[in-house]
Copies of this chain bind each other. A is one copy, B any other.
Amino acid sequence: MFLARIYITLKPAVNDPQGLTVQNGLHSLGYASVADVRIGKYLELRVAGDDAGQAEADVARMCDQLLANPVIEEFRFSLEAVAE
């Protein structure tokens, strides 16, 4: 069994209004040194099986098909073998 940690972020050229709002909130709280806030998604999921190559291919396809929006987002992930 593998634990997949998936990071989905907006492509650099895409505006991030949610990040801007959070940045303004942080400035309002006094954190004037903060810039370039970008907000993405972080997913953890478990994939049954013993074949790391198969699990890696599966997770990449899951991201392409459902988890990430390929028009505006990009993704990366890591796999860690874990006990059942």
Contact = CB atoms under 8 A, between A and B. Distances in A.
Interface residues of A, number: 32
B66 A49 contact: no
Chain copies in the assembly? 2
Contacts of A8: 42
Contacts of A34: 45-48, 62
Give the 10 A-B residue pairs with the shortest CB-CB distance, closest first. A42-B42, A33-B48, A40-B42, A37-B45, A36-B46, A38-B44, A35-B46, A33-B47, A7-B42, A39-B43
Interface of A: 7-9, 19, 22-23, 25-26, 29, 31, 33-49, 58, 62, 65-67
Contact of A67 (B22, B40, B44, B46): B22
B45 A58 contact: no
A8 to B, nearest CB: 7
